[in-house]
Amino acid sequence: MNKFMVTTAIDYVNGAPHIGHAYEKILTDVLFRHFKQRVEKTFFLTGVDEHGIKIQKTAASLNIAPKELCDKNADQFKQCWELLDINYDKFIRTTDEDHKKIVQEIFEKLLEKGDIYKHKYEGLYCSGCECFLSEKDLDENGCCPIHGKKPELVSEENYFFKLTKYKDAIIKHIKENPDFIMPSFRANEVLNQLENIEDISVSRAKTNVNWGIEVKSDPTQVIYVWIDALSNYITALGYNPNDESDEKFKTFWPANFQIIGKDILKFHSIYWIAILMALGVELPKTIYAHGWITIDKNKMSKSTGNVISPKTVMDAFELKEPDAFRYFMCTSAQGGKDGNYSDEDFKERVNADLANNMGNLLNRTLNMLTKYFDGNILAQHICEGELTKASIETISKVKEHFDKVELSEAAAEIISLVDMANKYVNDNAPWTLAKEGKMDECGKVLYSILDLMTKVAVLIYPYCPNIAQKMAQQLKIDINMNLDELSAKMIKEGKLIEKSEIQPVFLRMDSEFAVKK
């Protein structure tokens, strides 16, 4: 792999960002930071979706222009990602002029090719999903199962995309590429949806929806949200259907991972793929559908009033840095399954893993090094042992989990290594060895722990960049090193640390010291 590109779904800006939006962005950022430790050329794309009937209606209800609503809410998403240390390369807005122009060209290209045609249609339209639904898509009450509302009966003349033309090719691609849809249990879900697909509407009459990108050759129509929104993944890279694509597109596309929520898997694994096939553009390597985050075991809902923002959580626990929240989000669910947030679970897990285990191990080991050896690493203490082997094996295990977007499982491997080190230090009791005058044995135990912690710091960095940086400073290593550079005996002979330099890397959240002053 000589390049790595990852994308998130672009968030709809008819409301403020909440913990569900944050979950996806944190997962993607952690994935991205890990691959930056392995690959030289990387690109992380995120952004917002700003067109469609919901924005039009919300803006009208507030008596403001749609663009004004979009500007305000797009800024809220940017501020939230900054708060959470989301390290993206590009934040695309579908109101960006270059995006709009390319989307128009994509539409014209498909029209010219005959893959888009005009057709009069009457159907059930869910404004929440921004799509037409069939009777079989509805629940027993005739409502959209996702949004809980009855769709509107809409009759108008629209442009349609020949989705059915690409049905067999999509089925073949899914079956021949087992890593195309992750987790693997989602592939059958998509194959079942493909059985009954129909051609899809890709425009709306301007008389019904005027907040959108005009069809270049027919200004009475606006381009339907899925061609507009989905195309962001390539317009952001400077793709042009007229063979004038930017170097960035040629370098980074196809995306290695497209991270989305399970509720929009159909649109990405069927609609998006068919559009790319029609354009003759290479398909993404993997579409990964994550689960949802519930709040205290309940689905988030405005009506129940349990929608919470990341800032609310950080303010409640008086966290100056997002590391604890990032770590919890990534460990709240196994790959692709639903996770749950509760204040108690949050506090319990991060205290156990980050404060009691990882942070405390480093702190007490460095204190013993200054107490017994004045902070020096002596030549006779540099060694390799069982912890060295375990830490090198953990690097490989973590890589394997990240290759499958198993971030919770990768974190468990790192914490398991820390647990092993805690057991090792307790079993070997360096304080007892020092008391008995066995200083070389004591020094080797401390060295083994500290050398292991260099691997832990680099591996935990994608989850907890601020904590990892503090660890790296005290261990005198470069936190930005490539994973291939991690090896045995990272800590060299000489002065490692002064007692005054030793600082806790993460305080327990119920500690009297873990409060803003």
What residues are labeled active site?
Answer: 18, 21, 126, 129, 144, 147, 299, 302
Instruction: Say if residues 257 and 286 touch (Cβ distance below 8 Å).
Output: yes
Query: Are β-strands 218-223 and 203-205 bridged in parallel, bridged antiparallel, or unpaired?
Result: antiparallel
- The number of beta carbons lying within 10 Å of the beta carbon of residue 473 is 15
Q: Report cis status (omega within 30 of 0) of the bond before 178.
A: no
Q: What residues are paired with 152 via a beta bridge?
A: 125
Angstrom distance (rounded) from CA 130 to CA 167: 22
First to last CA, the chain: 46
- The number of beta carbons lying within 10 Å of the beta carbon of residue 219 is 9
Q: Give me the residue label for tokens 């949050």.
A: 346
DSSP sequence for 294-347: EETTB---TTTT----HHHHHHHTT-SSSHHHHHHHHHSSSTTS-EEE-HHHHH
Angstrom distance (rounded) from CA 29 to CA 44: 8
Instruction: Say if residues 258 and 7 touch (Cβ distance below 8 Å).
Output: yes
Angstrom distance (rounded) from CA 276 to CA 210: 26
- The number of beta carbons lying within 10 Å of the beta carbon of residue 312 is 12
- The number of beta carbons lying within 10 Å of the beta carbon of residue 452 is 27
Angstrom distance (rounded) from CA 261 to CA 24: 7
* Pick from 213, 210, 252, 207: nearest CA to 234: 252
Q: Report cis status (omega within 30 of 0) of the bond before 219.
A: no
Q: What residues are paired with 340 via a beta bridge?
A: 294
Angstrom distance (rounded) from CA 465 to CA 509: 18
What's 434-459 look like in SS3?
A: HHCCCHHHHHHHHHHHHHHHHHHHHH
For residue 376, the SS3 value is strand
Element (H, E) at 273: helix 272-279
Angstrom distance (rounded) from CA 41 to CA 21: 26
What token pair was written down for 33? 């930071």
